[in-house]
Amino acid sequence: MDATREIHTIDAAGKSPGRIATQIAMLLRGKNKPTFAPHIDAGDFVTVINAEQLKFTGKKLVQKDYFHHSQYPGGLKRTPMKKVFDESPGEVIRRAVYGMLPKNRLRNEMMKRLTVNV
């Protein structure tokens, strides 16, 4: 099935990462189309601009951590959100969207259609 893919541009200035990520995940998945089927990857391309102007509520920027485990004993790694945001603001959005997409073979193809411009 050939999907006609549109290009959506989302301005992230002054918005919270979670609210933006839900919009992006819906567009990447194709749930905004009447022909949506869960097993078909018919989503659109999404470009996010002004990622460095995200608004964080409360103390999330300082208190939230990203975790990663190396699968070895004692291999739990912790990265503060502030460090990730300072190095690459788009990575915060990318990680939020990644967690919202379905955990199956379609996820990597959906993520390839996401572009985050700082």
Torsion of CA 113, 62, 13, 47, to 10 degrees: -10
pLDDT score of 100 more than 60: yes
What Å distances lie between residue 25 and 45, 77, 82, 86, 98, CA to CA? 11, 26, 23, 23, 8
23 assigned to some structural domain: yes
Pick from 67, 64, 95, 69: which is nearest to 81 by CA? 64
Please report whether residue 69 resides in a domain. Answer: no
Average pLDDT of the chain? 95
**Would residue 46 count as lying in a domain?**
yes
What is the percentage of the chain residues whose pLDDT exceeds 90? 96
pTM: 0.91
Within-domain flag for 65 = no
pLDDT tens-digit series, residues 44-86: 999 999 999 999 999 999 999 999 999 999 999 999 999 999 9
Task: Write out pLDDT tens, residues 9-51.
Answer: 999 999 999 999 999 999 999 999 999 999 999 999 999 999 9
The domain of 108 spans: 7-56+88-116
Residue 1 has pLDDT above 80, yes or no: no
Q: What is the pLDDT of residue 118?
A: 82
Q: Residue 92: which CATH number?
A: 3.90.1180.10
pLDDT value at residue 87: 96
Domain count within the chain: 1
Considering the domain boundaries, does residue 71 fall inside one? no
Residue 63 falls within a domain, yes or no?
A: no
